[in-house]
Amino acid sequence: MEGGYGNRGSSFSQSRRGRGRGRGQRFPSNQSKVSSFAERGTPSSSSANRASASVISNTQEDDAQPSSNFVGTCPYMCPERERIQREKLRDLAIFERLHGNPGKSSPALAVKKFCRTISTKYVQASDMRPITVLEDTLNYLLSLLESKEHLFEVVHDFVFDRTRSIRQDITMQNIVNKKAIYMYEGMVKFHVVSHYKLWCSMSDPNTASLHHLNMEQLTKTLASLFNLYEANQNSNHVHENEAEFHSLYVLLHLGSYSQPMGEPLSLWFQRVSTPVLKSKEMCFARRILRSFRLGNYKDFFCTAAAQASYLQFCIMMPYINEVRVLALSCINFGGYKLHPYPLLDLSKLLFIKVWINNCI
């Protein structure tokens, strides 16, 4: 599409950045609150500790208890004793079964499950994966999203649970470095793409439930990512993808009563650093939000077609038809009834053919 979504792909892989290691390329959640972004400066141990505490507060339902001295030693995607136990219980996901056997897996297939209540008091170092293993595990999980053998809902359910386990391991080991940032960015991308793909199947009640749960984890993961940005922030320095991920949070407010993290957007803006606030990604998101709330459908579509990235599009898509309905209502009310609006002109105005051909 001219001036539109030329850089946006139709699959998850096209949103990946150029960082690779291990099994594949490495990617450069509704009521949690973002910690203060004020007084950013050179990272220190105290700022890292504050950010780690903030990450914990954003995942309280996981009940993960951090330990600054805890370092995992598990060399596999799933600890051996968990894999053996789940083999005995035949508790293996379809992606973990060796040759389809529900009672047999392998270190190359089994991935550690999420555990809601866990503490370092009862966990051995061999049960926790170090950052390098977590990176390879995340790359493996994200590669499954390209699978054509299984429905997306099936793949999503598996990756959804196992990425929560990755976040839990990161939290328990107090990992707040740049590698953690890249991993959280990859997990946010997973939830953003899932937000769009699950929305496309919302007619199924089960999918609607998955969509709601995915939104919860999206906002929580975003909140933790913002805290990691803060812990690794240098004065007047913006991480490569920081502006785009902040813009995603703004676009989550497109709904009529949306407050994904439980606070007014105006207060959140006060904590965002000036370089991020002035970035083209944030200017785009704020313009889209303003056009949406003012009912300026022409500016909404023109701006979206010219500037939206694939991830931004995934957030916006559930609201595009709402804007189209508004546009049709305005045209019908203000148009001259004896001279019907040409269908071709209408489709161009609403970007219907363009969006269908290039995005969906």
Q: How much is the CA Rg of the chain, to the nearest whole Å?
A: 22
204's CB contacts (< 8 A; 6+ apart) are none
Cβ atoms of 234 and 196 within 8 Å: the answer is no
**Type of residue numbered 349:** L
Q: Considering only CA atoms, which of 187, 116, 117 is closest in space to residue 156?
A: 187
Structure tokens at 28: 């450069």
HSE value, Cβ hemisphere, 13 Å, CA-based, for 15: 27
Q: What is the DSSP letter of 125?
A: G
Q: Smallest Cα–Cα separation from 51: which of 43, 63, 61?
A: 43
Give the tokens for residue 35.
Answer: 């910690």
260-277 pLDDT, tens digit each:
667 788 899 999 999 999
Torsion, CA 258, CA 263, CA 267, CA 268, rounded to 10 = -70
Closest Cα to residue 300, out of 289, 311, 309?
A: 289
Q: What are phi and psi of 175, to 5 degrees?
A: -85, 115
CB-based contact 227:348 (threshold 8 Å): no
Both tokens assigned to 346: 């209408």
Choose among 183, 294, 191, 311: nearest CA to 246.
311
Contact 305, 352 (CB under 8 A): no
Half-sphere exposure at residue 308, Cβ-oriented, CA atoms within 13 angstroms: 28
- The Cα 125–Cα 79 span in angstroms is 10
Hey, how many other C-beta atoms are within 10 angstroms of the C-beta on 148?
Answer: 6
pLDDT in tens, 158-208: 999 999 999 999 999 999 999 999 999 999 999 999 999 999 888 788 888
Q: In whole angstroms, what is the distance from residue 336 CA to residue 331 CA?
A: 9
In which element (H, E) is residue 65 found?
strand 64-65
Strand 24-26 versus strand 19-21 pairing type: antiparallel
What DSSP assignment string belongs to 143-200? HGGG-SSS-HHHHHHHHHHHHHHHHHHHHHTT--SHHHHHHHHHHHHHHHHHHHHHHT
Cβ atoms 313, 307 nearer than 8 A:
no
Q: What is the pLDDT along the chain (360 residues), one digit of tens a residue?
A: 334 443 444 445 444 444 444 444 333 333 333 333 333 333 444 545 555 555 545 544 454 556 556 789 999 999 999 999 999 999 999 999 999 999 999 999 999 999 887 766 778 889 999 999 999 999 999 999 988 899 999 999 999 999 999 999 999 999 999 999 999 999 999 999 999 999 988 878 888 899 999 999 999 999 999 999 999 887 667 899 999 999 999 999 997 656 666 778 889 999 999 999 999 999 999 999 999 999 999 999 999 999 999 999 999 998 998 899 988 888 888 776 677 777 788 888 887 764 444 444
- pTM for this model (two decimals): 0.79
Classify residue 111 by its DSSP letter: -
